[in-house]
Chains A and B, each alone.
Chain A
């Protein structure tokens, strides 16, 4: 009875031994890419530069007791030029002793030149290749992307980590590959990516996220500055927290509110061929600073402050909307809203959207509440003498 089992077990054993380990790849044999930059060369070729992690092992006993030096987490930037991403990758592989590993690449930076020409081709590579993460962050760099990668950050492990953390902080946009693809597939075919700018100060370069680039049909169309980007974040309901500073009343000294809760909603409506969007914003915050002479323990003054902040906020958003409507690129997500609420009308006027979009009337419905104004009213000791 046990004979068939024995035969079977021999068969199974040989199965394991004969096949070996197909895809086994030790970490020691991987060139781990932490970030990649994609640029366009002058002769319209793709220049792929990658930031590779250099795993220098911890020095033996002597230094292990002391604080580890920053040299432990070195990165090195290598580049290769090819016809397209795949070609460049293959050429890059030729110059490396280890296998290129995309699985941990968290940051992809497109050079501005490439962005202007179109990011269709690299995006196709990134979504088709099984390794790159869909959650990797996308950036557009002002100037060459390679320069961003070469930056050696003193705080984080490497510049990729630094960029990712900055994006996660949500001061600017935080766009992943997946998100970009989703937005590009929406009705308006637009996307926005954060821009990385390099700040040169005292001979030290440090990139930071500043503003954003708008894309239409995979081509970079326009740039938004930081304030406009904040306005965009409000419209996209991506604001997590914000600080709004405005004069307490016209001509007064400024006051600031820290908004810890903020949400926004776009409500479309069509009346007699007039396309409208109502921006509903709900925000709650704490009074952060009040240099004016308003006594915030009085309710009337708080209401006054709320009004002031509301206007500032509205102005900020209006600026972004105005800019978008001027450029004619609907990166605000209006098209999607009309498509969802008025699908029939949308289908009819879809081809006409470029004309319609600048004419969309935007109303604002902002509810801003100062939840905690603090126990300090009018800070008497700080006021100048004589003023009430």
Chain B
């Protein structure tokens, strides 16, 4: 686990993005910077705070550096890092002015830091440090400053009266500036008092978050409409609101030297395999990187096979989905700044499930699940099958169908493969454009897109109408896959299959399918076979794979890993007795 106290993360607390101005600074130490990963650390430190940089561009010259090294030739990376490490390593001193100086040096060029010096009524001098905007000013004013300045400590210079005076429950003490700076950067207010060698850290975080909305990528007709937001605290609250039990554990992890992204491994003690949690912790602690901006990056670091197109962790924006998986003994990872939670271990079949499956009647949900699987196969093999049959196996089609296709293909200048690739790639481009374009322009794309993949293309004689049909069916069916990353993977693999079909016909399709199948067989997600429970076959779990059994019939929890397996999910005997009485 990458706690802030980790030796490696004893780095400055400044998560500044490198900019072009930093490049000339590094020019002098090219030998130094290229020799190791110091290069990455040098750039942000050379230029202290991004917010500063954005507010005043004119300051972004080497001349605007910190006073101690201002006029000298640019400092070496090592000097900068050592200076910061030395500052961070300082314990909280007895003398208030020293502490303030240390803080000011740490946060020099940070225009958003506020260090408020004041006298406690009938008490010692004190200073309150926090970051403007990150902390809730009103809380600070009413619960820290007002009691301290109006009630005071009645002459005592000890810590306890001061602690009692402040009316904020979330408080902890910090002994060195590493913790102090961490806390300040997270939005806590730090109270430094003359004569006391520990800083009082108050949680006054001002939660600026977007409101909880329905996730757009995972909509349901029936079921909860809450979605995760970018704040980890809100997200964990959303989970806790569904699982009112101390067994819901949330292990904190901090990832990234500069971003120090707070993440939480959450699981249900007693259901989840502890080894799985340990494995997750181990994989997360191995990450040593500058920054982690989203859980998708974490996914890349902790998945078993990074070269596979298939996602090996399930991602979702829905707290109800996470809850359901936690109840099945899986573990989830949520990270600050990302509205997407990761669920591990994940299997292919679990990604073919939509939350809606569980909110609709089981019979209907089963039918829809089959429909989804059928259309997933059509997405993968539809265009390739069309290409193969048209290029190699014309005798396979019914006569009248072949004659119809022959008529429509008569004046098409391209072979079937080229035609298919042309259309499929165009469709992918349109899809991508539709996502990236600003909303105002989006409608224009859809209008033009309908022309490109549609009647205009047919009358222009570039593609045949059956091909348009195939592309359209493929396009529609690819959106039936509930998991977006799996959908992308499936859309992606159909291109190699199409090439195989163009080169070898149905034989090529079979070969490609075999390769994909073998690949899927070898995939593991945290030790769990990707194709489970189909391969290896676990008959007890088929209840929620090919069919969606009704809830009272899902008696056992799925078995994922190891011998730690809390099997029975419900007490049916009691239920039956009560129903029959």
Contact = CB atoms under 8 A, between A and B. Distances in A.
Contacts of A61: 459
Interface string A2-46: 000000000000001001111111111010101000000000000
B503 A26 contact: no
A55 B406 CA distance: 6
Which of A34, A55, A58, A161 gathers most chain B CB within 10 Å?
A55
16 contacts: A19-B503, A23-B392, A24-B391, A24-B502, A27-B390, A27-B402, A27-B409, A32-B394, A58-B407, A73-B403, A102-B395, A103-B394, A104-B395, A104-B402, A104-B403, A157-B400
Interface string B406-427: 1111111001100000000000
B403 A157 contact: yes
Contacts of A16: 499, 503
B160 to A, nearest CB: 61
B507 to A, nearest CB: 10
A32 B395 CA distance: 10
Interface in A103-159: 103-104, 106, 131, 133, 157
Interface in B74-116: none
Given A55-B410, A56-B410, A25 B392 contact: yes
A22 B408 CA distance: 25
Given A61-B459, A102-B395, A106-B399, 15 more contacts: A19-B503, A21-B391, A21-B503, A24-B392, A26-B391, A26-B409, A27-B394, A30-B406, A32-B394, A32-B403, A34-B399, A103-B395, A104-B394, A104-B395, A133-B395
A34 B406 CA distance: 13
Interface string A68-84: 00001100000000000
A104 B410 contact: no
Contacts of A32: 394, 402-403, 406
B510 interface: no
What range describes how many residues of A lie at the interface?
A: 20 to 34
Interface in B418-453: none
Interface string B379-396: 000000000001110110
B505 interface: yes
A57 B410 CA distance: 6
B434 to A, nearest CB: 28
Which 8 A/B pairs are nearest by Cβ-Cβ distance? A103-B395, A57-B410, A55-B406, A55-B410, A55-B407, A24-B391, A104-B399, A57-B411
Q: Is the interface of A mostly helix, strand, loop or mixed?
A: loop
Nearest to A57: B410
Contact of A56 (B394, B407, B415, B505): B407
B496 to A, nearest CB: 10
B572 to A, nearest CB: 50
Given A55-B407, A72-B407, A157-B400, A25 B503 contact: no
A167 to B, nearest CB: 14
A53 interface: yes
B22 interface: no
B415 A24 contact: yes
Contacts of B406: 27-28, 30, 32, 53, 55
Nearest to B460: A60
Nearest to B397: A104
Contacts of A20: 503
Contacts of A249: none
A162 to B, nearest CB: 12
Contacts of B459: 60-61, 64
A20 B415 CA distance: 14
B405 interface: yes
A104 B406 CA distance: 12
